[in-house]
Amino acid sequence: MSTERIARSGGKHVLLIVENVPIARDHRLRKQVSALRQAGYRVSVICRSDPDNDDGRVGHGVRLYQYRAPADAGSKLGYLWEYGYSWVMAALLALRVFLTDRFDAIQISGTPDIYFAIGAVFRLFGAPLVLDQRDLTPDLYEMRYGRRDAMYRILRWFERHSYSAADRIVTVNGALRDMIRDRGGEATGEVTVVGNGPVLARVRGHRPDPSLKDGKRYLCCWAGLMGPQDGLELVLPAIAELPAPIRDECRFVFIGDGEYRLVAESLAAELGVSGAVEFTGWLPEPEVFGYLATADLGLEPNVHDIVSPVKGHEYMAFGVPYVAFDTEQTRVMSGPAACYAKRGEVTEFANLIAKLLADDAARERMGRAGRERVERDLSWEHQQQAYLAMYRRLLGG
């Protein structure tokens, strides 16, 4: 069940747990693991199993503890089973790690906010708890089901207790930091913003591959985890609204997977754009970067302020301008690197796609501005400094 890849001698030991996601699919966790290892910490990770959880993705010197992945849920009862099973497996593996090679700190990543109970136990034995808060679970529930019922109130209760149990909280942007402080109240631990920018060292060196355009003039890309909060139900109708000559000149590629993929594919068929769009599923990182290095335009249809626009980071790193809906966090992050449609305005989103595809100079200017922003401030090389400083304050050294 575990693969040991490092001797027990060395620096402070940090255990990272991610909820029901393999580390191969969790780019942020892999960057955190790498930063901790380079800073001299010993690192163990608990996550669900996946064939791609190998040394090339996890990183040399990391001890990996995996549990068999549960079936993906399709109902509320299914979600209870999926999350409950994952919680129990993570708790058992955390106990195993603690008994065989005691860790100095434990970090919980991902949603829902039930894993604080695992960390709270080990706090009693002197291991402080770090919460990597990426999304707000109650808000995601409201987005999915459109209501604030008893389950929403239960999730808020879990959220408050997560904030009060954590010694340190890490989150992805200033808006989430402010909401965490407001919701957690005085009991909230120290909150540190650590952006989710790309690793420049991994981005550099990828060159455009014209064959990826499949004979088309333009390539437009969307890349990421496909969830109900990611706006695929908006970007596909925007593609359908493009004039046929423009749509025929462009290859639209959706890279990634997730619970919303089948819904998106059905919607594309219903809209009559299946021939214009392609869903690739998960691809190895070099292939993803090959697409982004070739792309003429990126797509970011998120309309929620609480959702951090991670896709925009990678578009900008490759000098790819993109079309987005006008959310506060997207505008703060991207500035002139993107064009913004009013939230939810599908026709305006489509018009901006057409306008940018017809303006080579504007795309070049926007791409250059985005790349400069990433290199100056947003890349992981910059963001990891706040992450490591938080651990130094927590553990010393």
pLDDT of 86 strictly over 50:
yes
Q: Report how far Cα 291 is from the mean position of its chain's Cα atoms.
A: 19
DSSP class of 186:
G
What pLDDT, on the 0 to 100 scale, is given for residue 145? Answer: 82
Q: State the burial class of residue 340 (Cβ atoms within 10 Å of its Cβ: 0-12, 13-18, 19+).
A: middle
DSSP class of 210:
G
pLDDT of 77 strictly over 90:
no
How does residue 73 score in pLDDT terms, banded at 50, 70 and 90? low
pLDDT of 113 strictly over 60:
yes
For 391, the token pair is: 């651990």
What structural domains and CATH numbers belong to the chain? 2-197+380-395 (3.40.50.2000), 200-378 (3.40.50.2000)
pLDDT of 6 strictly over 70:
no
Q: Report how far Cα 380 is from the mean position of its chain's Cα atoms.
A: 13
What pLDDT, on the 0 to 100 scale, is given for residue 150? Answer: 92
**Sequence letter at residue 107:** Q
d(CA 288, CA 254) in angstroms, rounded, equals 10
Tell me the average pLDDT across 211-219.
96
How does residue 192 score in pLDDT terms, banded at 50, 70 and 90? very high
Tell me the average pLDDT across 341-352.
97
Q: In the chain, pLDDT over 70 holds for what percent of residues? A: 94
Return left, alpha or beta for 61; rule: phi > 0 is left, psi -120 to 50 is alpha, else beta: left
Cβ atoms 213, 328 nearer than 8 A:
no
What pLDDT, on the 0 to 100 scale, is given for residue 4? Answer: 42
d(CA 397, CA 390) in angstroms, rounded, equals 11
What pLDDT, on the 0 to 100 scale, is given for residue 8? Answer: 46
Alpha helices in the chain (DSSP H): 27-38, 55-58, 76-100, 116-123, 137-145, 150-165, 174-184, 200-203, 232-241, 244-248, 261-271, 285-294, 310-317, 328-334, 346-357, 360-373, 380-395
Backbone Cα Rg of the chain: 21
pLDDT in tens, 283-337: 988 999 999 999 999 999 999 887 777 889 999 999 999 999 999 989 999 999 9
